[in-house]
Amino acid sequence: MSPATEFDYVIVGAGSAGCLLANRLSANPDHRVLLVEAGGKDDWFWIKIPVGYLYTIANPRTDWCFATEADPGLAGRTIHYARGRVIGGSSSINAMIHMRGQASDYELWARATGDERWLWGGTEDSGGETLKIYKQLEDYFGGADEWHGAGGEIAVERPRVRWKILDAWQAAAAELGIAPIDEFNRGSNDGSAYFHVNQRRGRRWSMADAFLHPVAHRPNLTVYTHAQALKLLMDEHVHGDQRRGAWTTARHRATGVRLLRDGQIVDVGARREVILTAGAIGSPQLMQASGLGPAGLLSQHQVPVAVDLPGVGENLQDHLQLRTVYRVRGARTVNTLYRNLFTRAGMGLQYLLLRSGPMTMPPSTLGAFAKSDPGLASPNLEWHVQPLSLAKFGEPLHRFGAITPSVCNLRPSSRGHVRIAGADPLAHPKISCNYLSTDVDRKIAVQGLRMTRQIMAAPSMSRYRPEELLPGPQLVSDDDLQQAARELGTTIFHPVGTCAMGAFDARGVPRSPSTVLDTDCRVYRVAGLRVADASAMPTITSGNTNAPVMLIAERAARAILE
C-alpha cells in the first residue's frame, strides 16, 4: 500500500458524526485523516434552502433511496427510507430540528453501558457529562446560559415564521393539560413549543457546515467523494496497546477499507483506527459484508465469518409517525398560500430578501410532548404539527386549508433489523422495522390518535371548524384505530441501535450477547475498529436523533484522542 493511500484514521461516512470526527482527529497536524463519502459534494442550492428537503429526499443525488421490507405493522406496505448520500449525510436533507432528547433517555444509556458519564448531569455531584457536552457543541441564538452554550460549531436558532393556526393548536393542547414551555432541550420535554432548528440566518446549517467546511483546508485531512466502502480490511496481528475495553479479547485488527472510487477498486490503510460513521443502515451492512455479524446470516450468503457478532444489524428502532389530517377554515396555511400565484411568489421574495417566511420552515414547526399514561415518569408521545397537508410525501399540497398533527411513540418496544441481502456489498440491505409488532406499541398508537382528536376538539380550535380527514371520524373502536395506524404510519427517519453499546465485564466480555460496542464505541473483538453513529444507541432518544449522534461522535473523538 503506497503512502498516498495510507492514513492514521479512516472515517467511513461523511454524515453528521463523520464530519465531527474528521474535524477533531485532524486538529493534530501529525494525524493523517481520510474521510470517505459514497455521495457527492453538498453544493447543490436545494441543500442550503430549508424547504429543499422536498427535492433532496427521494432523490438519488442526495439520498440512498432505501426501502423497507413489506411490514405487517404497516398493513403489508413498504416505505421509502431516506438516508443522506452526500457530504453532510442526513444532516443535509433532514428536518433540521435540534432535539437533544430527555434526561430519562440517557439514564437508559448509562444503565445499558454501566457508564454514568452518559447521564444528563447539570449538578456538581453528578457524574453525567451529556448536558455539558451539548453546551460545548452549541452556538445558541440566545447566548450561553444554564442550558445552552455559545461559540460552538452547531448553530441553533428559533424558527423564522409562526402561524396563528399553530398558536391555536398550542392553546388547544394547553386546554388538555399540555402546557406551553420555552423549549425542548432542558431535559424534561413535557409541554408544547416551537422547535429550535439547525439554521444560520435562514439557511440550513448541516454538520458539514459546522465541522467539515471550516477545516477543509487542513493539509492532513483528505476527503474522498463518490467512494463507497465495500469491505473492511483486517489482519490477526493485534497491538498490545489496543487490548482494552471491547478490544481486550480481540483476535482481529482493522487495517483499512476497500473502496469503489470513481469505478476503481482502491484499498486504503489505517495505521491507527477505522471509524464507521455510515449510519444505522450503512454501518451494520458494511460490517456484515466484511464478515462481522451473525454467523448464521453470513454463512447463508457465503460471506466468510471473521467474528460472530449476533447483535450487528439487530435492535433496529425507529419512530413511527401517525399522520392525521384536519381540514380547517379561515386559517392561513401553506396550502392556501401556495395555491395562489401572488402569495406563492411572495414567499419566494420574502426568503430572497429577508431569509424568513415559509421557505425557512422545517418539515414540522410546532411540537408537543405528553404522557399516554399519567403514571409514566416522562412523556412518551410527541406531536409534529405542520400548517399544511398532502396525501403523502412527494405529492402536491391539498388545495384547501389544512394542518397535519402527526403523533409518534417516543419509546417503541418493537425491534427490527438490517441484514445484507447477499454477498454483493453494493446491494441495498433488507430493512425490516417490525413497526407495531408489540401489544404495548399498538395500545400507545391508539392512545396517541385519541389524544390528537381531543386536542382538535378543544375550544381554542373551534373557530377554525376542524374536519377530520385522516384517519376519519367513522373509525371509533380500538381495532379500527389500530388498523388506521397500520395504514397511516410512516417513518420519521430516525433509525438507531443496530450496533448497540453495552456493558462489559473486567475480562472485556459483553454482559449481553446482543452488545456490539463498549461505551467508547469500540467493536467487540475487532481492535482498531469503532462505530460512532446512530447505530451505537442502545435505545432511541425522545425526538429527532441528529443532536444525540453528535454527542456520540464527540464522546468517541475524545476517547480516541485520550
Tracing cell 448553530 back to the chain, one arrives at 155
Report d(CA 233, CA 414) in Å as an integer.
34
* Residues 214, 220, 226: CA angle, nearest 5 degrees: 75
Tracing cell 497536524 back to the chain, one arrives at 29
CATH 3.40.50.620 fits 160-194+320-409+436-488, yes or no: no
Q: What is the pLDDT of residues 480-529, one digit of tens each?
A: 999 999 999 999 999 999 999 999 999 999 999 999 999 999 999 999 99
Q: How many CB atoms lie within 10 A of CB 327?
A: 18
Q: Using CA of residue 148, residue 554, residue 552, residue 284, what is the dihedral sign?
A: positive
Tell me the one-letter amino acid at 414.
S
- Quick one: CA torsion of 490, 496, 499, 502, rounded to 10 degrees? -130
**Binding site membership: which residues?**
86
**Binding site membership for FAD: which residues?**
86
What are the grid coordinates assigned to 87, written together?
Answer: 457530504
Band (244; pLDDT cuts 50, 70, 90): confident
Residue ranges of E strands in 21-156: 33-36, 66-67, 80-81, 138-140, 154-156
Examine domains 3-95+207-317+496-561 and 160-194+320-409+436-488 and report if their fold is the same.
Answer: no
What are the grid coordinates assigned to 433, written together?
Answer: 422495522
pLDDT of residue 243 exceeding 90: no
pLDDT at 391: 86
Per the residue annotation, which of 98, 196, 417, 494 is the catalytic one?
A: 494
Band (127; pLDDT cuts 50, 70, 90): confident
Q: φ, ψ for residue 478 (rounded to 5)?
A: -60, -40
What are the grid coordinates assigned to 228, written together?
Answer: 463507497
In sequence order, the 6+-apart residues with CB closer than 8 A to the CB of 479 are: none
Instruction: Decide if 99 contacts 544 (C-beta within 8 A).
Output: yes
Residues 381-397, mean pLDDT to the nearest whole number: 92
**Kind of pairing between the strands at 154-156 and 138-140:** parallel
Q: Where are the domains of the chain?
A: 3-95+207-317+496-561, 160-194+320-409+436-488
pLDDT of residue 474 exceeding 60: yes
The CATH classification number of 3-95+207-317+496-561 equals: 3.50.50.60
The reply to whether 417 belongs to the active site is: no
Tracing cell 475495553 back to the chain, one arrives at 245
pLDDT at 341: 87
Q: What is the pLDDT of residues 476-493, one digit of tens each?
A: 999 999 999 999 999 999
